[in-house]
Structure 1
Amino acid sequence: MANSSEKRGFVTLLIGLASLVLVIAGMRAVSGLLGPILLSLFVVMLTSPLMQWLKARGLPNWLAYTLVLLGVIFVGLALIVFLAASLAQLSAELPSYRNRIDTQITAFIQWLDSIGIQARDIRDLEWFQPERILQALFYFISALFGTVSNVGFTLLIFIYMLASAANFSSRLRYALATTNQPMLQRFSSFSSSISTYLLIKSWLGALTALLQVVLMWILGIDFAVLWGVFSFLFNFIPNIGFYISLIPPTLIALLTLGWAKALIFAVGYTLINNFFDIAIAPRYLGKGLDLSTIVTFLAVVLWAWILGPIGAFLALPLTVMVKILLLEPFPETQLLAQLMGAGEAGETPVVAVADSDREADNS
């Protein structure tokens, strides 16, 4: 009997892994369509509290919907126009940076020679050519243009999602309340936690980017507002988003202002980011989304591989959705869900606490 049970468990594991591979392959195959849909979904979750707040102030449903919709469309279109114009200007300026890059490399090699290091051959290395650096920057800009091109499609999906969000939410709650009460509690916990997280992360990222723009403006770094927008956007990518947003303005500062001001900028930029991440964010985010550091890093890599750049921005919400809605409800995967969490051993999971609170309220 034991061997039979072990065989069934092994077969079940293999079937589960095979199904997971098929699901991931399917998601990657339709990533061009799935990415904007998921992004629209989380934008709806971000703006829903604002819509509810407007309704609570006495505005009719149609007016609250119209105001939120117009606000999102305005922000989205303004973002498209600003990024397109700024990146076009940056693309036009990149060739002028070539001589500065060459000058910096020459000065660096001369400094190595002055301290007794023979570094003339470094200049002949293929990876050390200024053209390689410029090509990397152009590739980075092209990737950003590709991401921006999806914004219009995302806004179109968002319009229809927001229009049907209230009715769909009420129908879903009614269906789950009559068929699966625990899943309804988990869905409500997920929706509330993600909405709160995205809202707090947005205004913290905006404050961080604003101070960083002021720092860049004081130091005289080119395209300060563009790098501030990048800082805000990459604020949603955990672990590596900060470093990605730091590289371009630091390189520009190095080319235009020299080593000293580039170092001052990098230190100041890092201090501003750490102040909000370490001193301010925990006070408002609490335990966050209950994901360990290694899980958040791997989530960014995995979702970026599956969905492209949009996957990196949505890595945390998508991982929390999988953890709460697909792993925690089933005994076979509860251990995996617990291993993904950031809590200490013996702690009660955050969702379980929320569920028990709701059950106490209902009783």
Structure 2
Amino acid sequence: MAASDQPGYDELEDNRASPANISNPELRLEAKRAFIWTSVVGLFALIVYISQSLLVIFGGLVFAAMVDGGARLIGRFLPIRRTLRIALVLLLGTGFLIWLGFFAGSQISQEAAQFPHIIDNQASAFINWLDRQGFAIRPENLQQIAGQLMTGVGTVTRAIGGIFGGMTTLFLIAIIGIYVALEPRLYERGLAWMLPRQRRHRFYDTVSEMAATMRRLMAGRIVGMVFEGIFTWLMLWAYGVPMAALLGILTGMLAFIPNVGAVVSGILMVLVGFSGGVDMGLYTVFVYFLVQTFDGYVVVPLIAKKTVDLAPALVLGAQLIMGILFGILGLFLADPLMAMIKVALERRSAFNGEDSTAAAEADGT
């Protein structure tokens, strides 16, 4: 045998079995499957572990959509640079919060201090009325139920609990939102870079649709909040209902949370109303249904025509799950999250339909 025909040392070393080399094709396939499933499980565990951080990032995206929508609205009237429009939106928002703080501190601070006492008295009166009607309900039973609900909240909720934790979360959401609103294309290109080249145009199309939907959704939410807050305050103030300003502010803020917010604001309004007598209580019931009816049949339908139409039961279920897992932050972000998921699924379905049509035309030719 010629020397050139003899295998070299390197070739012999390459042909030797090693712990990382599986010569059996079936074993190699099973190893690949095991690696894929292990990776999926590990990725899912990682998402659960960092779910709170992901939710804060999503909250920043929601805030960025609100800032971007305000900047686009100002751009229709003021042809100035985008950076200046964003700064103007942030200044207006900060000014409103400062005004609200001074107004709350000077006008309704005493009302806010009396508010828990009134709610507690009315709740006790309602329990006593139920007891007289034959319902075996005791305050200690309600306290036990409330305690069980509080202890059932997960560690994630407790981690963001408290004033300091809540303010820190809001600060992080605001910072992330401002950065994204200033340069949204930078982050879109960064995410698209991680995708295969042939799928990037679909990613840009989906993200663009998501951003437009989020802007419209947040704009409609703000319109609903302003309407419910101001209208509730005026109606209650005209009749002389105590804490009209505080109830208006709470109603407007809770309007950001569909379904749950309306129920909570209605309960608070009715409890305060009945503290002034039966007539005032019935009037607050009338105001509540008037506001919710007008908002549900006029404001919301006008907004829903330009946003995603989510089923109320689906939104309520998402709010319950997100509220249990992440507390008030999950409750606030459940609706926008469901809207984004729906847009992503709709765009994916549209892309699959286009692929099927293209494949059918190719087979026909």
- The TM-score bracket by the shorter chain reads 0.5 to 0.7
C-alpha change, 1:166 and 1:229, in structure 2 (3 Å) is farther
Partner of residue 211, structure 1: 231
C-alpha change, 1:126 and 1:50, in structure 2 (3 Å) is closer
1:198 aligns with 2:218: yes
- The secondary structure found in structure 2 opposite 1:221 is coil
Is contact 1:46-1:195 (8 Å) kept?
Answer: yes
Matches of 1:102 and 1:303, distance apart in 2 = 27
Partner of residue 245, structure 2: 225
Is contact 1:80-1:148 (8 Å) kept?
Answer: no
Bigger shift: 165-174 or 184-193?
Answer: 165-174
Q: How far 1:232 moved relative to its partner?
A: 2.0
Is contact 1:76-1:155 (8 Å) kept?
Answer: no
Partner of residue 161, structure 1: 180
Letter in 1 for 2:281: A
Q: How far 1:205 moved relative to its partner?
A: 2.5
Bigger shift: 220-229 or 260-269?
Answer: 220-229
CA deviations 1:250-288 (Å, max 9, x no partner) are 21222x312332122122212211212123321332174
Letter in 2 for 1:60: R
Matches of 2:94 and 2:353, distance apart in 1 = 37
C-alpha change, 1:171 and 1:223, in structure 2 (3 Å) is same
C-alpha change, 1:208 and 1:167, in structure 2 (3 Å) is same
Equivalent in 244, 252, 267 of residue 272 of structure 2: 252
Equivalences for residues 330-341 of structure 1 within 5 A = none
Partner of residue 255, structure 2: 235
- The secondary structure found in structure 1 opposite 2:183 is helix
C-alpha change, 1:250 and 1:23, in structure 2 (3 Å) is farther
Aligned residues: 308
Partner of residue 341, structure 2: 322
C-alpha change, 1:76 and 1:19, in structure 2 (3 Å) is farther
Letter in 2 for 1:93: Q
Partner of residue 114, structure 2: 93
CA RMSD for the aligned pairs? 4.5
CA deviations 1:15-53 (Å, max 9, x no partner) are 89956853552244xx2x444432232121122133234
Point out where structure 2 has 5 or more consecutive residues left out of the alignment.
1-32, 151-160, 358-365
Equivalent in 263, 276, 281 of residue 262 of structure 1: 281
C-alpha change, 1:17 and 1:66, in structure 2 (3 Å) is same
1:311 aligns with 2:325: no
Is contact 1:177-1:184 (8 Å) kept?
Answer: no
C-alpha change, 1:91 and 1:273, in structure 2 (3 Å) is closer
CA deviations 1:147-192 (Å, max 9, x no partner) are 4664344333333333333544577689989542222222211111
Is contact 2:108-2:243 (8 Å) kept?
Answer: no
Partner of residue 63, structure 1: 84
Is contact 1:205-1:235 (8 Å) kept?
Answer: yes
Q: How far 1:212 moved relative to its partner?
A: 0.9
Partner of residue 273, structure 1: 292
- The secondary structure found in structure 2 opposite 1:203 is helix
- The secondary structure found in structure 1 opposite 2:308 is coil
Matches of 1:36 and 1:80, distance apart in 2 = 25
- The secondary structure found in structure 2 opposite 1:290 is coil
Matches of 1:231 and 1:281, distance apart in 2 = 16
Is contact 1:86-1:223 (8 Å) kept?
Answer: no
Is contact 2:64-2:178 (8 Å) kept?
Answer: no
Partner of residue 126, structure 1: 140
Larger-Rg structure:
2
Letter in 2 for 1:258: G
C-alpha change, 1:54 and 1:241, in structure 2 (3 Å) is closer
Q: How far 1:194 moved relative to its partner?
A: 1.6
CA deviations 1:308-344 (Å, max 9, x no partner) are 212111112112223333x5566xxx6xxxxxxxxxx
Matches of 1:299 and 1:103, distance apart in 2 = 32
Is contact 1:45-1:194 (8 Å) kept?
Answer: yes
Letter in 1 for 2:96: V
Matches of 2:234 and 2:109, distance apart in 1 = 23
Bigger shift: 242-251 or 71-80?
Answer: 71-80
C-alpha change, 1:284 and 1:292, in structure 2 (3 Å) is closer
Partner of residue 309, structure 2: 290
Matches of 2:115 and 2:252, distance apart in 1 = 23
Point out where structure 1 has 5 or more consecutive residues left out of the alignment.
1-9, 137-142, 335-348, 357-363
- The secondary structure found in structure 2 opposite 1:236 is coil
Matches of 1:244 and 1:218, distance apart in 2 = 22
Matches of 1:80 and 1:153, distance apart in 2 = 21
